Amino acid sequence: MTISTKKRALAVLVATGVAVALAGCGAAPEDNGGDAGGETIDFLPCIVSDAGGFDDKSFNQLSYEGVVQAADELGVEYKNVESNSETDFAPNLESLVSQGCNAVVSVGFALSAATVEAATANEGIDFILVDDAADNDFDGEKDAENVKPLLYDTAQAAFLAGYLSAGYSEAGKVGTYGGMEFPTVTIFMDGFYQGVNYYNEQNGTAVEVVGWDGKAGSFTGGFEAGPEAKTVAQNIIDQGVDVLLPVGGPIYQSGLQAIKESGRDIALIGADADLFVTDPTTEDFVLTSILKDMKLSVYEATMSSANEEFDAEAYIGTLENKGVGIAELHNFEDKVDPELWTEVQDLQQQIIDGEVTVTSYLG
């Protein structure tokens, strides 16, 4: 029996109720999905979150939606398991492997080491790693051949948001802070910083970025909304900014709370997802969002595994391939100078055409 056949056979067993119980982890994997009304294939896609959970209104949620879309289209079940802490990562992955998953999506760079370990031990399973290159020894090579990294050059989109924010700001100060100082976080802050500086160069202004100077800045120490995140946001707000970019899943919720309590007119910039769409409580505050189309890239990678066309080469989302982007202005359309928004659209094409260079750790 070939590896592929074994994989499909395992999926059949799981679909008929043979499952391994999960104990001691963040949450038990759930059976979901259903019958599309026609012939189904023997394929079981699975996904494990980081500590943010699948309702983070951000990258966990978008990645989850990509798996759901693929499962619905294929007419198969899927399994999802949430992690409550870092100690859940390896057990959750082991649980999914034990239940016959054919493709496993790991959401977030924090799961990189556990994903590589699971992939190395299970060469017949396709692993899809969101937001990390799976290079834990930093030698420039992937640490497991059956891992497909999904990466996003969000510096390009953040550059646009920085330019927009600088042009929108009346205070001459904009701010940003992150969850933890990892490349997938600071790439947003780098692009934002570069975009503000480019606006200053083009317009002879001196808009200041509070919270990141291109090398160091403000971080909450985690990716949860809470007192620590709110304190960091409040410290930046107290320095007089009128635009705020939180980078790190749910920490934007603490930033929004700090904005509301400030009593000042401060605009919020979303990260990963369009907050105007995913979180209606932001509708009156969000100027725009820096987008990573994780739903599409996870969906496509999952479908390729289902079709036995899995390509483990790294995917890098850019403005050109629409893997990253900037959201519409929504309720801020009447508050932003139309000429400024036109400049942002023109700048996007200039970046795509190589006329304006945005630097990031992705090259």
pLDDT tens track of the chain, all 363 residues?
333 433 333 333 333 333 333 333 444 455 565 444 456 689 999 999 988 788 877 778 999 999 999 999 999 999 999 998 899 999 999 999 999 999 999 998 889 999 999 999 999 999 999 999 999 998 889 999 999 999 999 999 999 999 999 999 999 999 999 999 999 999 999 999 999 999 999 999 999 999 999 999 999 998 889 999 999 999 999 999 999 999 998 899 999 999 999 999 999 999 999 999 999 999 999 999 999 999 999 999 999 999 999 999 999 999 999 999 999 999 999 999 999 999 999 999 999 999 999 999 997
Question: Could you tell me if 173 and 205 are in contact, meaning their C-beta atoms sit under 8 angstroms apart?
Answer: no
Report CA-CA distances (Å) from 354 to 192, 246, 296, 349, 362: 18, 28, 25, 8, 15
Token pair of 348 as six digits: 């996007």
Start-to-end Cα distance in the chain: 43
- What's residue 363's pLDDT? 75
d(CA 59, CA 64) in angstroms, rounded, equals: 8
> Do 317 and 140 form a contact (C-beta atoms < 8 A)?
no
Tokens of 212: 């990141």
8 A C-beta contact, residue 95 and residue 81: yes
Residue of 180, 188, 201, 131 whose CA lies nearest to 160: 188
Q: Which fold has domain 155-292+333-352?
A: Rossmann fold (3.40.50)
Which pLDDT score is estimated for 59? 79
CA distance 136 to 116: 8
Query: Matching CATH topology for 3-152+295-317 and 155-292+333-352?
Result: yes
The kind and range of the H/E element at 13 are helix 3-15
Q: Where are the domains of the chain?
A: 3-152+295-317, 155-292+333-352
Can you identify the CATH homologous superfamily of domain 3-152+295-317? Response regulator (3.40.50.2300)
Greatest distance between any 2 Cα atoms in the chain: 68
CA 194 from chain center: how many Å?
21
**The pLDDT value given to residue 40:** 66
* Residue 283, token pair as written in the block: 């509708």
Q: Are 179 and 163 in contact (CB under 8 A)?
A: no
pLDDT in the model for residue 249: 85
Write down the pLDDT at residue 337: 98
Q: Where are the alpha helices (DSSP H) in 30-170?
A: 59-74, 89-98, 112-121, 154-168
Which of helix, strand or coil describes residue 342? helix
- For residues 42-77, one letter each, b for 16 or more C-beta atoms within 10 angstroms of the residue's C-beta and e for the rest, the string is bbbbbbbbbbbbbebbbbbbbbbbbbbbbbeebbbb
Give the burial class of 302: count Cβ atoms within 10 A of its Cβ; 0-12 exposed, 13-18 middle, 19 or more buried: buried
